[in-house]
Amino acid sequence: MNNYFVISILLLILNINETKQENKVAYFASGCFWCVESIYENLKGVSEVNSGYSGGNTINPTYREVMSGLTGHAEAIEVIYDPNVISYETLVNVFFGSHDPTTLNRQGPDSGTQYRSIAFYKNFNEKEIIENAIKKLIETKTYYKITTEVKKFNKFYVAEDYHQDYKKKNPYNPYIMNVSAPRINKFKMKYPELIK
């Protein structure tokens, strides 16, 4: 009886450890990374968000190079999250719900290929989740067209230090006050249940 109890406890511990998943990483581009970084930092289950560049060909691009529109990269974010708290599907829903996926190479006042909308996937499951989200948005007539690229993730380059946590460090910057803050506040009103 005693051995049975010990074995049962050990099996329970092993089962818990097997079902508990480690942090995962997701990548999105939806306009200025100062805005997008702040949106995802507010989510329960997200431990870290980094601003950077992805989707292009230039190796180790600088901000100035990306802004030229010649590198092929978009301003993007790297989201480190706990799948036990927040799902990839929810991250995708936040992505589509926090920017305008109908504008080609533009978000708000920012225009150029570096501001295009991209949902990056690392495997078939993530691709399917993104494609299903797009299908649902079209079927429900939330949007009549979506210009978001669904792109296989290749490489993410972390942006320069001064871009990281930009909104937190520069709350009175005119762009932050007039573009980022309203976008973030609109997001918070739309998804109150997801906010930390």
Q: Is residue 133 packed enough to be buried (19+ CB in 10 Å), middle (13-18) or exposed (0-12)?
A: buried
Question: What span, in angstroms and rounded, lies between the C-alpha atoms of 155 and 60?
Answer: 10
* Cβ count near 181 (within 10 Å): 16
Query: C-alpha distances in angstroms, 5 versus 11, 15, 19, 72, 116?
Result: 10, 15, 21, 60, 58
Please provide the DSSP assignment of 81-114 as one string.
E-TTTS-HHHHHHHHHHSS-TTSTTEETTEESGG
Residues marked as catalytic: 32
Q: What separation in angstroms does the CA of 191 have from each of 28, 35, 110, 152? A: 18, 16, 24, 27
